[in-house]
Structure 1
Amino acid sequence: MPDAHQGYGLPIGGVLAVDNAVIPYGVGMDIGCRMALSVFPLPEHELYQRAKELRNIILANTRFGSKFSAFDKKMDDAIFERPEFKDIAVLRGKRQTAVEQIGTSGSGNHFVEFGVVDITDPDNELDVPVGKYVGLLSHSGSRGIGAAVAQHYTKLAMNACPLPPEARHLAWLSLDSQAGQEYWAAMNLAGDYASACHDQIHRRISRALGEKPLAKVENHHNFAWRETLSDGREAIVHRKGATPAGKGVLGVIPGSMTAPGFIVRGRGERDSLQSASHGAGRRMSRGQAMKTLKEGDVRRELKDHGIELMGGGLDEAPMAYKDIHQVMAHQRDLVDVLGSFTPKIVRMDAGGKGGKGGE
């Protein structure tokens, strides 16, 4: 994908179709990491008039990272009744962690932000008139559950499928094996848990805002799908940091804190395995950004673009990312643009490590 950069196994922005097997590190550590966008029936100017209120709403209704990641009053969810928590060994004992972390966001490249949604396509499937609205965008994944599943089954795959050292993270599990079937079930649970977390984030904030969304768009990456290829063959399509872009499929491709993201409709391009980028992609590694960027320069960049940032770090800096407009230009044949989302009030983990477009 045009946002691709180096990673373990598949690169971030890598898409791979395989026959009747799954590659745990072809999915990645943060299984089912996703974007979720709510479009509210509020005109753009309310974002600026109510900026302090919106800032306080995000602070009160989001939690980040591992140290302070639980709400005092938790919301229940049907996912806690899923049998996988009992039936799959690696998930036994993880249910309580899931209860504690429901509705929270991770560290790294995860965020919750208010911004301006600009709907530009009058024929959009959202049934939202052309215009500018207040929007809420979140990016987070499956928290501790996804990481535990990835680590456990990657070890099993490496033992079952020994490969040269440089390729060891591409070790696979046959879907005819017990381990492969277990991973598939655990992966799907982790993805559904990530979705439940986003649902609770948006419900909490919608309730605090006193508004129901006009529309929502949600899509995920770091996942494997059973799909039919253009030649009729069934395959397991891995998208590690890549957005599903089947014909008519909606998604959100974020930029950076100072650049817009885009609401897109997939075009079903066969040569990309019906996929598109999942963001702008990094042009600096996290370490390089921490070493070379200066905090004062980043603050000025954010101020110049009218961005209020709570949390984050130097590796979150807009300068660490590729030009989203160039990335989108490279995938005109993969997606159509329905509108954009421009961040204004951003919250991330305060741990100082992260960015938009991780594993």
Structure 2
Amino acid sequence: MGIQKILNADAQYGVPVKIFTRDIDQESIEQLKKMAQLQFVYSHIAVMPDVHVGKGATVGSVIPTKQAIIPAAVGVDIGCGMNAIRLNLKADQLPDNLAPIRHAIERKVPVGFEIHKQVKAKASTIIPLEKSLQPIIKKHSGLIRMLRKFDATWQKQLGTLGGGNHFIELCLDENQDVWVMLHSGSRGLGNVIGTYFIELAKKEAQHRFGHVPDKDLSYFAQGSNSFDDYVEAVEWAQTYAFENRREMMRLILEAIRPLLPPFQMTKEAINCHHNYISQENHFGETLFITRKGAIRAGQDEFGIIPGSMGARSYIVRGKANPESFCSCSHGAGRKMSRNKAKLLFNQDDLIQQTQGIECRKDLGVIDEIPSAYKDIDEVMANQSDLIEVVHTLKQILCIKG
């Protein structure tokens, strides 16, 4: 059974905070107490078992709001999420040496700060995105000044990975079937949109719902021009993130086809956000649900919960638990900062913890070492009320930005 810890509501803390783990640090608790004071938060805040402190809002939190949205709760990697597909290949059909496959993917999909030299996405993808972006930048021309070579950049970044904890993996499931899995978001323009509206919310400092305990929790009230503009912009970024993952998957499959036996994709394909806003009905109310580091786990909905680059990942099916607002964790969750990981671990530690995985093993990715993350098995055990496991994956190749 999942564990549920509740910070009780009172005059100081506001709505209850329901936490599906006992493994939570004091800094996250203090952050959640501030979030719970917001008068437009409905019912309670749900906190997933991969919880850790974030900027503005706690990572792993599900925040239901009425008539207001907090841009910093979504963050700057709007629409960040996962994509996974199963191939009709078995483990014994893969080559013993996976390095050529890794290098082929890296040549096809830019990682880190790199972008495509030319636009790779099809016109059928670019044109609708461009058309829906025009009204946004017409009203908020400052966005253009925040991204170098604005149009060329967002178009050339479609089908690129980015850095940090974004990744591309080849995995094997419990049946020795081969999966391709990736994690990325809305790239540079999504970051610009998030940053721009977070600062705008702070500048406007709306007080329709009273005191805000932290400037990072500044919000837009429904009915204001900024609210409508942010909803339009965040929906665009979420669509872009979805298309970015889809384009990246296309390029990955294109890269690996010449190096593998002929294959096809199975019907099992998942593309889901874990930093986003959606309008949903819960407890008889239409609410804005902000999932910051959480995925939707509605009844029989499929999702992806990745571990670290040396641990298992999971394909899951949702149980529509109302107390979590039909949500579950988005991964293992960090247990230490990137800077602390760089101080505590060295290259030998990384090599030891990624044995048997074709991946970078240099100091440039030491902050992504498995020991910097929580135990994914414990995280999964704590959310047995939220999801059931459909497939267990183990990566054999991992590309980090």
TM range (shorter): 0.7 to 0.9
**Does structure 2 retain, via aligned residues, the 8 Å contact 1:46–1:134?**
no
Q: 2:245 aligns with which of 175, 180, 198?
A: 198
* Aligned residue in 2 for 1:262: 314
Greater shift after overlay, 166-175 or 14-23? 166-175
Rounded Cα–Cα distance in structure 2 between residues aligned with 1:39 and 1:46 = 14
Rounded Cα–Cα distance in structure 1 between residues aligned with 2:218 and 2:119 = 41
**Does structure 2 retain, via aligned residues, the 8 Å contact 1:252–1:263?**
yes
Q: Which runs of 4+ in 1 moved over 6 A?
A: none
Q: 2:287 aligns with which of 230, 235, 245?
A: 235
Q: For residue 308 of structure 1, what is the amino acid of its counterpart?
A: E
**Does structure 2 retain, via aligned residues, the 8 Å contact 1:248–1:265?**
yes
Q: Is 1:7 aligned to residue 7 of structure 2?
A: no
Rounded Cα–Cα distance in structure 2 between residues aligned with 1:32 and 1:225 = 11
* Aligned residue in 1 for 2:39: none
Equivalences for 1:39-50 in 2 at 5 Å? 39-49=86-96
**Helix, strand or coil at the partner of 1:88:** helix
Q: 1:189 aligns with which of 236, 252, 257?
A: 236
**Does structure 1 retain, via aligned residues, the 8 Å contact 2:338–2:367?**
yes
Q: For residue 273 of structure 1, what is the amino acid of its counterpart?
A: F
Rounded Cα–Cα distance in structure 2 between residues aligned with 1:56 and 1:106 = 16
* Aligned residue in 1 for 2:3: none
Q: For residue 281 of structure 2, what is the amino acid of its counterpart?
A: T
Q: Is 1:84 aligned to residue 84 of structure 2?
A: no
**Helix, strand or coil at the partner of 2:236:** helix
Which structure has the higher relative contact order (CA within 8 Å, separation 6+)? 1
**Does structure 2 retain, via aligned residues, the 8 Å contact 1:85–1:95?**
no
Q: CA deviation at 1:275?
A: 0.8
Q: CA deviation at 1:79?
A: 4.0
Equivalences for 1:32-181 in 2 at 5 Å? 32-49=79-96, 51-66=98-113, 68-72=114-118, 74-81=120-127, 82=129, 83-89=131-137, 90=140, 93=144, 94-118=150-174, 131-161=175-205, 167-181=214-228
Q: For residue 397 of structure 2, what is the amino acid of its counterpart?
A: I
**Does structure 2 retain, via aligned residues, the 8 Å contact 1:38–1:136?**
yes
Q: CA deviation at 1:334?
A: 0.2
Q: Deviations over 1:40-70 (max 9, x none)?
A: 110012234362442233222221122x222
Q: Deviations over 1:99-134 (max 9, x none)?
A: 12110011111111112133xxxxxxxxxxxx2211
Q: For residue 66 of structure 2, what is the amino acid of its counterpart?
A: D
**Does structure 2 retain, via aligned residues, the 8 Å contact 1:241–1:277?**
yes
Q: 1:218 aligns with which of 271, 289, 294?
A: 271
* Aligned residue in 1 for 2:147: none
Q: CA deviation at 1:193?
A: 0.9
Q: Deviations over 1:311-342 (max 9, x none)?
A: 75111000101100000000000001100221
**Helix, strand or coil at the partner of 2:271:** strand
Question: Number of residues paired by the alignment?
Answer: 333
**Does structure 2 retain, via aligned residues, the 8 Å contact 1:206–1:212?**
no
* Aligned residue in 1 for 2:395: 343
> Cα 1:341–1:191, aligned 2, differ >3 Å: closer, same or farther?
same
Q: Deviations over 1:18-46 (max 9, x none)?
A: 00221111111100001000111100122
**Does structure 1 retain, via aligned residues, the 8 Å contact 2:206–2:221?**
no
**Does structure 2 retain, via aligned residues, the 8 Å contact 1:25–1:170?**
yes
Unaligned runs of 5+ in 1: 119-130, 350-359
Q: Deviations over 1:161-214 (max 9, x none)?
A: 368786111111123111111111111111111111111111122233333311
Rounded Cα–Cα distance in structure 2 between residues aligned with 1:71 and 1:58 = 16
Identity of aligned residues (%): 33
Q: For residue 252 of structure 1, what is the amino acid of its counterpart?
A: I
Rounded Cα–Cα distance in structure 1 between residues aligned with 2:203 and 2:294 = 27
Unaligned runs of 5+ in 2: 1-47, 145-149, 258-262
> Cα 1:162–1:179, aligned 2, differ >3 Å: closer, same or farther?
closer
* Aligned residue in 2 for 1:127: none
Q: Deviations over 1:291-320 (max 9, x none)?
A: 1111111112212xx012137511100010
RMSD: 1.9
Please give the TM-score of this superposition, normalised by the length of structure 1. Answer: 0.88
Q: Deviations over 1:241-274 (max 9, x none)?
A: 1111111111100001111110001111011111
Q: For residue 177 of structure 2, what is the amino acid of its counterpart?
A: Y
Q: CA deviation at 1:77?
A: 4.4
**Helix, strand or coil at the partner of 2:353:** helix
Q: Report the structure number with the largest CA radius of gyration.
A: 2
**Helix, strand or coil at the partner of 1:345:** strand
Equivalences for 1:255-334 in 2 at 5 Å? 255-303=307-355, 306-310=356-360, 313-334=365-386
